Amino acid sequence: MHQDRTYAVTGAASGIGAATARRLREGGGRVIACDLHDADVTADLATPEGRAALVEEVGRLCGGRLDGVVANAGGGMPDIHLALNFFGAVATLEGLRPLLWQSPAPRAVATSSIACLRTPDPTVLEACLAMDEPAAVAAGREAFRLDDPLALYGAAKLALNSWCRRTAIEPPWAGAGIPLNVVAMGFFDTPAAAPIFADPDLRAQAAAMVPLAGVFPGRPDQAAAALAWCVGAENSVMTAQVVFVDGGAERRALGAP
């Protein structure tokens, strides 16, 4: 499935990123794992310096050609939600895009979340989509609420969804034959989600959001299957899509049509 293909996977040291890297390798692919630690490339995508280092080092390790990019790094504390989950992801995709041009079957995917369903602060969202990081961070400080610490995370993921859908059909992506998609994840048993599962009330609330029996919490390898398919050569047509891999939580949250 992934033989003779080289992939860059960010956030590859644990959770869904580690499971995705493992699945791609098991399929015969070569993976350049990227993370803050325990990776082929160590870089902090919440900073401009880390983003530049990622692009430079991945380019060196892949020899100038990538077949797939999985922009999976995310999470973090509220003070870096926008920097990491939106600006870091966009920098990964845009920075590594020239390396995809050398592939006969280039693919890219970003990891989002059902947190994108939260109503965002419009000023934060507007600044993100204008690619104005200082303005977005400043607006985020004003918008942060202790009663909803994931609000900025959700805004970052919604901005990422919008950016990818808008950008995927532009000449540098669609015109170059590069499918670009987003997978919005539900509740998966990862270190990042551990606080939710450790709290009985939060766990019960989350479980009530998932109508599909037997998939709460999801396993990282189940999430990895969706990401791996998106960057596999077999995904030759789907692009500019946000696919919810969440056991039906997004549909339940939206309610009746």
pLDDT tens string 107-139: 999 999 999 999 999 999 999 999 999 999 999
Residue 207 included in any domain: yes
Residue 88 included in any domain: yes
Which of 183, 184, 188, 180 has its CA nearest to residue 221?
A: 188
Q: What is the CATH number of the domain that holds 129?
A: 3.40.50.720
Residue 95 included in any domain: yes
Residue 10 included in any domain: yes
Q: Do 74 and 11 form a contact (C-beta atoms < 8 A)?
A: yes
Residue 24 included in any domain: yes
CA angle 244–114–98, rounded 5-degree value: 65
pLDDT tens string 237-251: 999 999 999 999 999
Query: How many folded domains does the chain comprise?
Result: 1
Cα separation, 11 vs 17, in Å, equals 5
Name the helix (H) or strand (E) containing 169.
none
Domain residues for 105? 6-244
CA angle 123–174–163, rounded 5-degree value: 10
pLDDT of 257 over the 70 cut: no
- At residue 127, what are phi and psi to the nearest 5 degrees? -65, -40
- At residue 164, what are phi and psi to the nearest 5 degrees? -65, -45
Report the predicted TM-score, pTM, of the whole model to 2 decimal places: 0.96
- At residue 188, what are phi and psi to the nearest 5 degrees? -120, 150
